[in-house]
Amino acid sequence: MAADPIVAGRGTRPVAWSWRVLTALVVAISAAVHLYLVASQGYGGGTGNWLATAFWLQGVGGLVLAVLVLVWRSPLPLLGAAGFGASTLAGFLLAVYLPDGLFGVQSQWAGWQEWVSAITEALAVVFALAALTAERARR
């Protein structure tokens, strides 16, 4: 991807805007899918079910993280986005492939939600690391 223009000035940090926008987009999509699953599908429903709470936190936290990637020029939101993508994808894969699922919750590759989430979470890791690399190379 071509280098983004850097605004010169004192105290400014080089920002890889293309990578940051792509990172924020895929994190927001993953978050929206989690909110969709818990709000409209009743995913993880039932009283005292930890999965519904985890999906709400994943959705809201992902949206906040997407905004932070765009407005805070620190590497921290990019690290958070990479961790968000990696941990969410790892949790889903454990729920699919472990014999008893993840903490007793079993999942499967059954619909568009799983595919969209898995793809966007993998891309979140790739895009966030690309942004970190590009921004570090410009220093």
Q: What per-residue confidence (pLDDT) applies to 23?
A: 98
Sign of CA dihedral 91, 95, 98, 103: positive
Mean pLDDT value across residues 115-121: 96
Do residues 36 and 113 make contact, with C-beta atoms less than 8 angstroms apart?
yes
Query: How many CB atoms sit inside 10 A of residue 7's CB?
Result: 9
Query: What's the pTM?
Result: 0.84
